Structure 1
């Protein structure tokens, strides 16, 4: 057993080549917070989110040797969890997640969208996100809940970075519009 901190790639290699359960455990511990947050955001139930992450780890155990290195191990892990979570939602739709991690959605935009998003409560933001199309909810979850970079999101989704940027821009714009509309309805 090695005491030095190993990279994700080294840990995955140990899983693939040595069937090293300790290495898989280290990968899990290193990424569990983000993986659970993403899973929860996509399926809306903490218990089910934990099951999804565990199912994803079983997949990682079985497919580690097939990892080709075209993405980072981190992005690959998020992609596996995303795949399992979306399959779980298709089989058994669940209510979407609470508003964990939503403060960041409004924190780094410019222009009128930022003002609309900054003036809203967490509950209003969560309700507006639930009204977004699934592909917009997913991009918001990957960017602000899982805190993946745009290149990592591109790897997870299998799309170019430019597509991630445009989807994220549209998701934030549509979210701001939904919030504006909801506020107008309240003031009528």
Structure 2
């Protein structure tokens, strides 16, 4: 432990990712967390349909960021890296559990609805969509990502993203029309 004499310790909420601390080069995980956590939970809530799952996968993404070494430090967009990681964590969990899950779980209202309060009907409609459509809809409309970025984050062709967006919008329109008491689309 005597090899670090003369080097000032970085602030406690900073992460230097396994390198010698350099006060000018530290990325404050606290700043990234404070600036991105709430937005990421809202976005992942729309993807997962569960507030608890959204919180869990976003927290897991932050744990992986802290453990990733220099990779997280070198990314241009920390929030996009965290979102991609959280979506991938969710996808992995979903794949493992999909055969054992019930088709429709009762929607649990968020503990802190905040921005979601006015959107519960939309979230309920999103939950009725197939997972692939729900992911692209959430990333496009809630995360404001263009088709190309969604394609890159999910590792699917742009044409597939466009197709899922189109089908997802049509399905959402029908579901929301039915929820409002309209005749719906037959």
TM-score range, shorter chain: 0.5 to 0.7
CA contact (8 A) 1:38 1:142 kept: yes
Cα deviations by residue, 1:131-163 (Å, 9 ceiling, x for unpaired): 211111111221223333333322321234443
Task: Give the C-alpha shift of residue 65 in structure 1.
Answer: 2.4
Structure showing greater radius of gyration is: 2
Structure 1 partner of 2:128: 131
More helix by share: 1
Correspondent of 2:47 among 42, 45, 52:
42
Query: Take 1:160 and 1:65, find their aligned partners in 2: how far apart are those partners?
Result: 29
Q: 1:26 aligns with which of 15, 24, 31?
A: 31
Higher relative contact order (CA 8 A, sep 6+): 1
The 10-residue stretch of structure 1 (141-150 or 129-138) with the greater mean CA deviation from structure 2? 141-150
For normalisation by structure 2, the TM-score amounts to 0.62
The alpha carbon displacement at 1:96 in A equals 5.5
Question: How far, CA to CA, are the matches of 2:92 and 2:109 in structure 1?
Answer: 20
When structure 1 is superposed on structure 2, of 153-162 and 134-143 the one drifting more is 153-162
Over aligned residues, Cα RMSD in angstroms? 3.9
Structure 1 residues 90-129: aligned runs within 5 Å: 90-91=96-97, 93=101, 124-129=121-126
1:167 equivalent in alignment to 2:164: yes
TM-score, normalised on structure 1? 0.61
Give the Cα–Cα distance (whole angstroms) in 1 for the partners of residues 119 and 41 of structure 2: 20
State the Cα distance separating 1:175 from its structure 2 match.
Answer: 2.0
Q: Which runs of 5+ in 1 are unaligned?
A: 3-10, 104-120
Residue in 1 that maps onto 2:78: 73
Listed as ranges, the gaps of 5+ residues in structure 2 are 1-9
Measured in 1, the distance between the counterparts of 2:35 and 2:121 equals: 32
